Structure 1
Amino acid sequence: MTVRAGWLLSAGQTRADTRLVPLGTMVPESPMTSRDGVIAGGDPLAATGVGPMQVQIGTGRAIVQGAATQGAYPVAVTSPETLTLADGHAQYTRIDSVVLRVYDELYDTDKQTAVAIEIMQGAANATPTPPTVPTGALRLWDITVPAGISAGTGGITWSSALADRRRYTASYGGIIPRGWGTSFTGAYPGQYRDNGTGLDRWDGTAWQPLTPSVGWTAVTLASGFSNNGNAQGTLRYRRITIAGVPFLQLRGGVSWATSGTIPNSGNLLASVLPANCRPAALTSLPIAAGGVDIKLDAQTSGQLRLIGSTGVTTWAALSGVQYPLDA
């Protein structure tokens, strides 16, 4: 047997007791349930097409959560498992799912005790959707099965048919690796997850990014403006987080041709800043410019506007400008 579950067979204490005690506690999702998912390390439970209608699932480990009263089952796949898909429907495409499933006769209507990797067959339809995964099962992969496909017609094109649906879990206090299904709610303030470019912290209401992007994005200047005013470089921006508050930073400078006349009514941008880089309220900041001090208006529309005077010459510097984006 190559698919094995811990705390499934009796060993002197009730299985529910063993699973519910905080022994090797995983990331919680509620007071008595754990976040199920694959245990990261290498490429666990990877899928590979090994025949026209056969897929092989590699070795790996996972946690499968049952109902709240059951607890979570630790599972290991110790040798690759090969599964065979049914031939395609005559008319419609379907989507099948590869699942890691635990059967427990104390809780299931199936009245069996077993653990297996299985194919759950989806319904063939003009607009197919994956099958609903029952309690006690963890979706690993979705496989698109085209209409009329079979071993005799050449079988499944594995490079396009497989869709990775592995989500990951970790031990309590650990950082959850990025995987499929990233739009989940945190379980407790202080929980961390990998967002693909940095870390997010759950504050009890929402995920807050901890590691901002360090890259800068150049703006598109409106007609009449050019970059490198006062030798400050190209005008660029980036969104960062300081103490949980989102900020926008600017660097660079702009210039124009005629002293005393700022082009385009002072509106710097031909393309406004993206929605997540706009302040919740109009924000005005003093900046340096040729001849006088002027101000920069960061507008809720995403436009940046220079508010000057007749004494201004032909450049403005925006390096060091930084302002909050929240209300």
Structure 2
Amino acid sequence: MATDTFGQGVPITLLTDGPNANTLASGIVQALAQRSVMRFSSGSARAATLTAPVGGMVAWLDDARRLELYDGAAWLTLAYGAPGWTTLGLVSGYSHDGNSNGTVQWRVTTLAGQDFVQWRGGLNVSYSGSSIANGGYFNSSFLPTSARPSSLRTVSIGCSVASSDSPTLKLDAQVSGDLQIVGTQAGRTPPWVSLNGVMYSL
């Protein structure tokens, strides 16, 4: 029995091999299955089946809706299946659709094998004098564990230049799952901020 000319180890029955339809079919199926996109109900189901994965294997996980690649040491995420957007609950002092930018929503997505949280929408912001509502914390509940960064992520966010001497503020995404607008002060109290296009790694 020979193998394919691409060096992938797919067996090819020769005319000199003894006739055995089961060996022929099994050899081809077993070789090609592990080189295709394998499908599993979950990561644990995959681990139970692939006890010794090989670098280059690709698998789809139904429960996480995620495509992963084994790099020889670990399974890395390649892509998510059309991740849906989740609307963020807000505390008093904040409301959705700041500057007609839409409802504030987030989702976890993947770029070059790295998970990111992606944001869209705008926030209306209120103040007491020059003090931002709730100290700048605006989400009514913590982000789920799957959307919390491993360390503090500080990114720039756009804001209104009305009542502000700066067109940007900071967003602190905290490991606790809390979100805080940072940088407001006297002379910098914009009535809205935009989260459109904001991303940070997990």
Would the TM-score normalized by the shorter structure come out above 0.5?
A: yes
* 2:144 paired with 1:278: no
Contact kept in structure 2, 1:235 and 1:318, CA below 8 Å: yes
* 2:67 paired with 1:217: no
Percent of paired sites with the same residue: 31
Q: CA deviation at 1:179?
A: 4.2
1:309 to 159, 164, 185: 185
> What amino acid maps onto 2:103 in structure 1?
T
Q: Greater CA radius of gyration, 1 or 2?
A: 1
- The total of aligned residue pairs comes to 168
Quote the residue 1:130 is aligned against.
Answer: none
Q: CA deviation at 1:315?
A: 0.8
Q: CA deviation at 1:198?
A: 4.0
Q: CA deviation at 1:25?
A: 5.2
Q: Name the structure with the higher helix share.
A: 2
> What amino acid maps onto 1:309 in structure 2?
Q
Quote the residue 1:24 is aligned against.
Answer: 28
* 2:39 paired with 1:182: no
Q: Distance in 2 between matches of 1:227 and 1:179?
A: 37
Other structure's SS at 2:28 match: coil
- Residue-by-residue CA offset, 1:141-184 (whole Å, 9 max, x unaligned): xxxxxxxxxxxxxxxxxxxxxxxxxxxxx623112223475241
Cα distance change of structure 1 residues 284 and 179 upon mapping to structure 2, 3 Å threshold: closer
- Residue-by-residue CA offset, 1:101-140 (whole Å, 9 max, x unaligned): xxxxxxxxxxxxxxxxxxxxxxxxxxxxxxxxxxxxxxxx
Q: Which of the pair has the greater relative contact order for Cα pairs under 8 Å at 6+ separation? A: 2
Q: Give structure 1 stretches of 5+ with no counterpart.
A: 1-11, 28-169
* 2:184 paired with 1:321: no
1:290 to 140, 160, 166: 160
Q: Distance in 1 between matches of 2:35 and 2:109?
A: 25
Q: Give structure 2 stretches of 5+ with no counterpart.
A: 1-16
Q: CA deviation at 1:225?
A: 0.8
Q: Distance in 1 between matches of 2:155 and 2:149?
A: 13
Q: Distance in 1 between matches of 2:176 and 2:103?
A: 22
**TM-score of the superposition, structure 1-length normalised?**
0.47
Hey, which bits of structure 1, 4+ residues long, moved more than 6 A? none
Matches within 5 A, 1:1-327: 23-24=27-28, 26=30, 171-179=33-41, 182-184=45-47, 185=50, 187-196=53-62, 197-212=65-80, 213-258=82-127, 260-291=130-161, 292=166, 293-307=168-182, 308-310=184-186, 311-325=188-202
Quote the residue 1:43 is aligned against.
Answer: none
Q: Distance in 2 between matches of 1:244 and 1:232?
A: 29
Q: Distance in 2 between matches of 1:233 and 1:286?
A: 19
Q: Distance in 1 between matches of 2:41 and 2:197?
A: 36
The Cα RMSD (Å) is 2.6
- Residue-by-residue CA offset, 1:285-322 (whole Å, 9 max, x unaligned): 11111222211111111111001222222111111111
Contact kept in structure 1, 2:41 and 2:61, CA below 8 Å: no
Q: Distance in 1 between matches of 2:148 and 2:41?
A: 29
